[in-house]
Amino acid sequence: MHIPDGFIAPQMYLPAYGVAAGFWAYGARRLRTALREEIIPRLAVLTAFCFVVMMVMVPLPGGTSAHATGIALLAIVFGVWTAFVSVSLVLLLQALLFGAGGVTSLALNALAMGLVGSAVARTSYLLLRRFHQGFALVAAGWLSVNVSALLIALALGVQPVIAHAEDGQPLFFPFGLSVTLPAVMIPHALIGIGEGVLTLLMFRLLSQRGWVARR
Amino acid sequence: MRARIALLAYLAAIVLGTTVHEIEVLALGLVLVLALAGRDWVRILRRACIAILLFNLVVTLSYGVIAGLQGTFSLAFVVLVNLRVLLLTCLTFLFVSRVNAFEALAFSRSLTYLFTLAYSQSMAFKQALEDFRLAFKSRRIEQVGLRDRYRHSASMAVHFLDKSLHRATEITQVMRSRGFFDA
């Protein structure tokens, strides 16, 4: 669901960097207090896991891509702020090494996927696990993907409105919300199921390895 | 310090690349970036083209169909958006090939450590993923069913986690023995 480089106007990505910078600073401070020796390697492993999962991208009509993220798993195991910083690192690595996503869209991708996606996943998991842990994990995965995708679709869809030439031609992303919302959301409704199942299976695996408590 | 300055110059060039909407200026910028790449210009241009090909093709074709039907198609927009994306991607690859990104981004010791460790793990995962894919491909003589594909993926996931935890723990012990956690 990454937004590639060059499709977001500076009127949007520069303020997004301003907002993200504050959250990154706060997240880094939270991360420093949370980092213990045994946490660092585990966090690095799950960050790398997210990296690999996000590398398997399927392009969608309308200019974005679809893939699982592993973000819900990070948020549930380590918390929202740690997940946010880790996902931001993954996005940075992908942008620098592979040109996937991009530097101009990094802040927007990080806020949508890393911060909001993590917060939605963690909150929904905590609310739903009292009823059924398996369902809570699947729901957290589905919601994290779809809420993030909704934000990405909105960000892309407003580009023709906020950045266009005098003759009305778009300067960045050319499609409005009537194209981006269905083009992004319909595939992600299905991908979210995969993300949910992935979250459930990986959580069970981590439980078996003693990384997380089963309840 | 030099890496930080290069990072700032790179970011300034990126912002500049998104505030200019003249095709000629962007084309000139691309030529300049490729000239700065020196003998690597073909490699960087090739990498950038491969990285952006799928997405830009999808956007361009979708735009061609939709704008064509609406009668608003503009070739200038197609050239502008593709040129800009190519320029930004070439700039990024040039930056990464010339500057130590780890040094440029070393704002915090813990974050740098996490970044380095996550990077090394990611590269190991990526290589292992490719090895597994090739091994799986070379050992089948007929089409593999969905169930077997899922089982193969699950086995890979377990392998990745166990091996990486082991390696990451080893690295942590190395860092501890060198006094990283004492400060």
Q: Are residues B34 and B93 in the same domain?
A: yes
| Shortest alpha-carbon distance between residue A4 and chain B (Å) | 8
| B14: chain A residues, CB-CB within 8 Å | 103-104
Domain that includes residue B82, residue range: 2-103
Is A104 in contact with B89 (Cβ distance < 8 A)? no
User: DSSP string spanning B132-161?
Assistant: HHHHHHHT-SSPPPHHHHHHHHHHHHHHHH
Please name the residue of chain A whose CA is at the shortest distance from the CA of residue B83: A6
Question: Could you tell me which of A72, A33, A29 has the C-alpha nearest to residue A50?
Answer: A72
End residue of a domain, out of B103, B136, B167: B103
Task: Give dist(CA B183, CA B178) in Å, integer.
Answer: 11
What is the phi/psi pair of residue A59, to 5°? -70, 145
Is A89 in contact with B72 (Cβ distance < 8 A)? no
Q: How far apart are the first and last CA of chain B?
A: 23
End residue of a domain, out of B80, B103, B126: B103
The residue among A45, A104, A169, A172 with the most chain B CBs within 10 A of its CB, best to mutate, is A45
Please name the residue of chain A whose CA is at the shortest distance from the CA of residue B10: A103
Task: Give dist(CA A20, CA A26) in Å, integer.
Answer: 10
Q: Are residues B76 and B131 in the same domain?
A: no
Q: Are residues B155 and B97 in the same domain?
A: no
Q: Are residues B87 and B144 in the same domain?
A: no
Confidence of residue B149 (pLDDT cuts 50, 70, 90): confident
Structure tokens at A110: 């990080």
End residue of a domain, out of B103, B126, B153: B103
Three-class SS of residue A5?
A: coil
- C-alpha A93, offset from chain centre: 14
Confidence of residue B42 (pLDDT cuts 50, 70, 90): very high
Q: Are residues B30 and B91 in the same domain?
A: yes
Q: Which domains does chain A have, with CATH numbers?
A: 10-208 (1.10.1760.20)
Is B89 in contact with A99 (Cβ distance < 8 A)? yes
Q: Are residues B38 and B120 in the same domain?
A: no
Task: Tell whether B12 is within 8 A of chain A (Cβ).
Answer: no
Looking at the structure of chain B, the number of domains it has is 2
Q: What is the ipTM of this complex?
A: 0.83
Confirm if A184 and A149 have CB atoms less than 8 A apart: yes
Is B58 in contact with A62 (Cβ distance < 8 A)? yes
Three-class SS of residue B106?
A: coil
pTM for the model: 0.85
Give me chain B's average pLDDT, please: 84
C-alpha triplet A68, A71, A77: angle, nearest 5° = 135
User: DSSP string spanning A174-195?
Assistant: ---HHHHHHHHHHHHHHHHHHH
For residue A142, what are the contacts with CB-CB under 8 A and spacing of at least 6? A192, A193, A195, A196
pLDDT digits (tens, 9 = 90+) for A102-149: 899 999 999 999 999 999 999 999 999 999 999 999 999 999 999 999
Confirm if B52 and A99 have CB atoms less than 8 A apart: yes
